[in-house]
């Protein structure tokens, strides 16, 4: 066998090993993301998967209202929506509205003005030290928290998709 | 600029058509691999398409032959609706590998094996990289896997082109198409 043919076959073998190792690593990463749960950001035809674990960033607290009109003061962990969007290269100034879609297809719309208002809309993964459960209870869930909004129906639970327009 | 003969044009047309066909034939098989890894298909099949451009470049060693074949391939892919995800960007992602093949040929004009192999890898990487920047926007490990698959596909395609070139040695050496 000629020397250069050996070099070619050796390089191909190395590339195959590289593909297998990196491929298994990618697959492992995807499985972890699925197990841990994730939300999908949809914007301009692009989709981005964000693991729920990436949303556990800061503590925040405030008063919310439930469907019966009762007021609660809760401590949450999560991330402010405008911060998350900015990190993904979506300037809050350019956002017209965001639709949150839950696992059960329930949805709510948040205006650009609400999102730009500091300290108003958050994505929470933990409330009063306990994880927010998803609809099926087997995976961590994400809930939209809207401070200062008397309409509790807009605090969508088990958010799966955030559609940005 | 050297005039191009009808025979050379015919061989270029055959090679670029075979290239497009090869990609269509190999894609369902390679897509099972890319589907498993959940990355876009295409990078694993591109080498089998570009192998024919490498063969065509050796048969018709004009300075712009591979670029021309890549550009015509892009027009055909666009016209035949083979570019579902890339749209008009195929004009760039199909032509760029042709340009790379032409450039590599400048350095390895008389060394068939290095030319086929290196042109295969670099042209596939350039096509995959351009597709990622323009269309897919992969990052991190997914991008690394995408590029590794492209390089592997280019290496295998380049090696196949080399083996075919040996069979076509008489035509290439005697310059029947010159």
Structural domain contains residue B130: yes
Each residue's pLDDT tens digit, B107-129: 988 788 888 999 999 999 999 99
Contact assignment for B144 to A22 by CB distance below 8 Å = yes
Structural domain contains residue B21: yes
Position B112 scores a pLDDT of 81
Bridge-based pairing state of the strands A58-65 and A71-80:
antiparallel
Contact assignment for B142 to A26 by CB distance below 8 Å = yes
Structural domain contains residue B107: yes
Structural domain contains residue B167: yes
Mean per-residue pLDDT for B26-32?
86
Short-list B31, B64, B61, B35, CA closest to B46 = B31
Name the minimum distance, in Å, from the CA of A16 to any CA of chain B: 7
Mean per-residue pLDDT for B18-40?
85
A120 and A133 Cβ atoms separated by less than 8 Å: no
Low-confidence ranges of chain A (pLDDT < 50): none
Could you tell me the strand order of the sheet in which A46-51 lies?
A46-51, A38-43, A159-164, A97-102, A107-111
Structural domain contains residue B1: no
Residue A13 main-chain phi, psi, to 5 deg = -60, -45
Name the minimum distance, in Å, from the CA of B67 to any CA of chain A: 25
- For A8, which of B117, B137, B144 is closest by C-beta distance? B117
What is the C-alpha separation between A131 and B53, in angstroms, rounded?
A: 57
CATH number at residue B92: 1.10.1760
- For B141, which of A5, A15, A22 is closest by C-beta distance? A22
Site of tokens 């295998």: B156
pTM of the model: 0.66
**List of chain B residues whose C-beta atoms are within 8 Å of the C-beta of residue A31:** none
In the predicted model, is pLDDT for residue B170 greater than 80?
A: no
In the predicted model, is pLDDT for residue B50 greater than 80?
A: yes
Residue B69 exposed, middle or buried by CB count within 10 Å (0-12, 13-18, 19+): buried
Mean per-residue pLDDT for B15-39?
86
Short-list B14, B19, B8, CA closest to B53 = B19
Local structure of A137: helix, strand or coil: coil
Position B174 scores a pLDDT of 64
Name the minimum distance, in Å, from the CA of B88 to any CA of chain A: 16
Whole-number mean pLDDT of chain B? Answer: 86
Structural domain contains residue B116: yes
Name the minimum distance, in Å, from the CA of A75 to any CA of chain B: 34
pLDDT-based confidence at residue B133 (cuts at 50, 70, 90): confident
What is the C-alpha separation between A48 and A56, in angstroms, rounded?
A: 17
Contact assignment for B114 to A15 by CB distance below 8 Å = no
CA distances from A82 to A2, A150, A153, B62, B151 (A): 61, 21, 20, 56, 39
pLDDT-based confidence at residue B84 (cuts at 50, 70, 90): low
Counted domains in chain B = 1
Contact assignment for B155 to A8 by CB distance below 8 Å = yes
Can you count the helices (H) and strands (E) in chain A? 3, 10
ipTM score of the complex? Answer: 0.83
Structural domain contains residue B64: yes
Residues in B whose CB is inside 8 Å of some CB of A read 36-39, 113-114, 117, 137, 141-142, 144-145, 148-149, 151-152, 155-156, 158-159, 162
Position B178 scores a pLDDT of 53
The domain containing residue B149 runs over which residues?
Answer: 6-174
In the predicted model, is pLDDT for residue B171 greater than 80?
A: no
Contact assignment for A26 to B137 by CB distance below 8 Å = no
**List of chain B residues whose C-beta atoms are within 8 Å of the C-beta of residue A4:** 113-114, 117
Position A154 scores a pLDDT of 84
């Amino acid at each position: 066998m000629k020397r250069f043919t050996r070099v070619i076959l050796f390089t191909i073998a190395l590339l195959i090993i590289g593909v297998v190792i990196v491929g298994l690593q990618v697959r492992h990463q995807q499985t972890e993301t699925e197990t841990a749960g994730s939300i999908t950001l949809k914007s301009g035809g692009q989709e981005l998967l964000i693991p729920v674990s990436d949303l556990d960033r800061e503590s925040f607290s405030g008063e919310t209202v439930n469907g019966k009109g009762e007021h609660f003061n809760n401590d949450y962990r999560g991330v402010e929506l405008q911060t998350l969007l900015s990190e993904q290269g979506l300037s809050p100034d350019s956002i017209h509205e965001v639709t949150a879609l839950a696992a059960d297809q329930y949805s709510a719309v948040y205006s650009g003005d609400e999102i730009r208002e500091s300290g108003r809309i958050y994505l929470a993964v933990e409330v009063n030290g306990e994880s927010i459960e998803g609809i099926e209870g087997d995976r961590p869930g994400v809930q939209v928290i809207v401070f200062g909004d008397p309409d509790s129906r807009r605090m969508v639970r088990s958010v799966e998709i955030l559609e940005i327009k | 600029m050297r005039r191009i003969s009808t025979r050379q044009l015919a061989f270029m047309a055959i090679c670029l058509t075979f290239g497009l066909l090869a990609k269509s034939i190999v894609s369902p098989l390679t897509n099972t691999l890319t589907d498993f890894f959940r990355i876009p298909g295409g990078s694993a099949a591109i080498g089998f398409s570009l192998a024919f451009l490498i063969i065509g470049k050796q048969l018709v060693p004009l300075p712009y032959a591979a670029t021309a074949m890549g550009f015509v391939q892009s027009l055909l892919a666009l016209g035949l609706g083979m570019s579902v995800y890339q749209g008009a960007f195929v004009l760039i992602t199909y032509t760029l590998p042709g340009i790379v093949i032409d450039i590599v040929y400048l350095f390895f004009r008389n060394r068939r094996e290095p030319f086929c192999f290196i042109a295969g890898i670099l042209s596939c990487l350039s096509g995959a990289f351009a597709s990622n920047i323009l269309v897919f926007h992969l990052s991190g490990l997914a991008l690394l896997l995408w590029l590794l698959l492209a390089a592997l596909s280019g290496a295998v395609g380049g090696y196949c082109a080399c083996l075919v070139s040996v069979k076509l040695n008489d035509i290439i050496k005697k310059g029947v198409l010159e």
